[in-house]
């Protein structure tokens, strides 16, 4: 065997298989890119599902609120009628049967509205609360503690736990 042929030189390094290594690196890069894209798409899918679930729950809650408080405006429209009955019952009348009939109608209307969720706000002799009372008059006095409600001009109401109409009141203020 003639060792002088450079093509068959045993001491020379074998040729590097650069083409297969580059292909492997390219495939690894492609795999990593596709894996990152898959993870991104899964993350976006999970976020969309969470957004949709939140939207669905919010829509159901809003629907329940609408159903719960659908009568609010109807009850609010009936409050002046209750006020009129209260004013009419304060007036003295010679016809006792007429007064008795008015009382019955007022009681039935009040009971029906109470079943729907209407609750009167008790104001007289209570401490003034700006969240449920509307002060229309303030009187300086030392007869009662400061910010005590002296008189109720118009009754306030809650409807199913929410303020429907604040009470219009006269409030005591301490003399200075």
pLDDT at 1 over 50: no
- At 163 the three-state DSSP class reads strand
Question: Tens of pLDDT along 147-162?
Answer: 999 999 999 999 988 9
- Does the pTM surpass 0.85? The reply is no
Architecture of domain 72-173: Roll (2.30)
**Dihedral sign for Cα atoms in the order 152, 157, 162, 168:** negative
Closest by CA position to 82, among listed 100, 102, 56: 102
At residue 2, φ and ψ (nearest 5 deg) are -95, 120
Q: Is the dihedral of CA 129, 133, 135, 140 positive or negative?
A: negative
Q: Which tens digits make up the pLDDT trace of 96-144?
A: 999 999 999 999 999 999 999 999 999 998 999 999 999 999 999 888 8
- What 8-state DSSP symbol labels residue 144? S
């Amino acid at each position: 065997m003639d060792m002088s042929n450079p093509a068959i030189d045993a001491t020379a390094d074998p040729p590097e298989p650069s083409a297969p290594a580059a292909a492997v690196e390219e495939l690894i890069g492609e795999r990593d890119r596709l894996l990152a894209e898959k993870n991104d798409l899964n993350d976006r899918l999970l976020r969309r599902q969470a957004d949709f679930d939140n939207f669905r729950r919010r829509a159901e809650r809003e629907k329940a609120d609408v159903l719960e408080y659908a009568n609010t405006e109807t009850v609010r429209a009936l409050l002046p009628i209750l006020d009129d009955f209260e004013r009419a019952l304060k007036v003295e009348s010679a016809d006792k049967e007429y007064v008795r009939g008015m009382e019955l109608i007022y009681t039935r209307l009040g009971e029906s509205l109470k079943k729907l969720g209407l609750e009167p706000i008790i104001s007289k002799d209570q401490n003034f609360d700006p969240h449920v009372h509307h002060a229309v008059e303030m009187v300086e006095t030392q007869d009662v503690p400061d910010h005590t409600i002296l008189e109720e001009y118009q009754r306030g109401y809650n409807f199913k736990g929410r303020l429907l109409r604040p009470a219009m009141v006269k409030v005591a203020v301490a003399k200075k």
